[in-house]
């Protein structure tokens, strides 16, 4: 049994478009500066530590023109496998690829962590919940409400900022504060 557990892995699927759109459009309300973007390597480390097994990170990219080599090289250097995709302008290539990947994971003995707030992945995640460990990493207040019911069936939720600590700076987010964490200096 120990050998089977050691061989098991987690797939960490990154919907970078969704995270970037949420960060820029809903949290910062402008294009994020480089120092305000997630430290993606922290997601790999967080998932590996939380679930104590190897993690394979897949970072899905919509590439309309040239491959963004500096970003791809950075992803590779920190341990991600970039998945550059292209298609017609009306195709959501990142969503399609992640959906297909989740469907393929269903045939494997593996766990999955989806990094997205997007409800387009609900059917595929629903098929996985209860048959393996599953989680969603994103921004709790922007997570599609459809994931809530899956949480009752075992889907775990991790916040990119509060749980994963993927940012170097505190984001301007409004959240409900547990009284034990309340610091009046934050508001003065």
32-61: pLDDT as tens digits: 998 999 999 999 999 999 999 999 999 999
Please give the pLDDT value at position 30: 94
Q: How many CB atoms lie within 10 A of CB 43?
A: 25
Please give the pLDDT value at position 6: 52
Question: Mean pLDDT, to the nearest integer, of 18-40?
Answer: 94
Do 151 and 158 form a contact (C-beta atoms < 8 A)? no
Do 135 and 157 form a contact (C-beta atoms < 8 A)? yes
Please give the pLDDT value at position 177: 81
Question: Which CATH number among 3.90.400.10, 3.10.20.30, 2.30.42.10, 3.40.50.1010 corresponds to the domain 2-120+135-186?
Answer: 3.40.50.1010
Length of the chain: 188
pLDDT band at 4 (very low <50, low <70, confident <90, very high): very low
Please give the pLDDT value at position 3: 47
Is the pLDDT higher at 176 or at 29?
A: 29
Question: Mean pLDDT, to the nearest integer, of 63-88?
Answer: 95
Please give the pLDDT value at position 75: 97
User: Coil, strand, or helix at residue 113?
Assistant: strand
Q: How far apart are CA 122 and CA 62, in angstroms?
A: 21
* Whether the predicted pLDDT of 74 surpasses 70: yes
């Amino acid at each position: 049994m120990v050998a089977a557990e050691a061989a098991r892995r987690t797939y960490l699927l990154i919907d970078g478009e969704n995270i970037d759109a949420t960060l820029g459009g809903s949290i910062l309300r402008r294009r994020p500066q480089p120092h305000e973007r997630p430290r993606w390597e922290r997601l790999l480390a967080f998932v590996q530590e939380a679930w104590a097994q190897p993690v394979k990170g897949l970072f899905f990219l919509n590439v309309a023109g040239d491959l963004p080599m500096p970003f791809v090289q950075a992803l590779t250097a920190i341990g991600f496998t970039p998945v550059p995709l292209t298609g017609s302008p009306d195709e959501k290539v990142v969503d399609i690829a992640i959906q297909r990947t989740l469907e393929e994971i269903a045939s494997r003995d593996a766990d999955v962590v989806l990094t997205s707030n997007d409800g387009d992945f609900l059917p595929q995640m629903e098929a996985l919940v209860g048959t393996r460990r599953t989680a969603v990493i994103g921004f709790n207040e922007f997570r599609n409400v459809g994931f809530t019911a899956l949480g009752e069936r075992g889907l775990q939720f991790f916040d990119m900022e509060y749980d994963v600590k993927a940012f170097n700076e505190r984001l301007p987010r409004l959240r409900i504060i547990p009284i034990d964490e309340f610091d009046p200096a934050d508001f003065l």
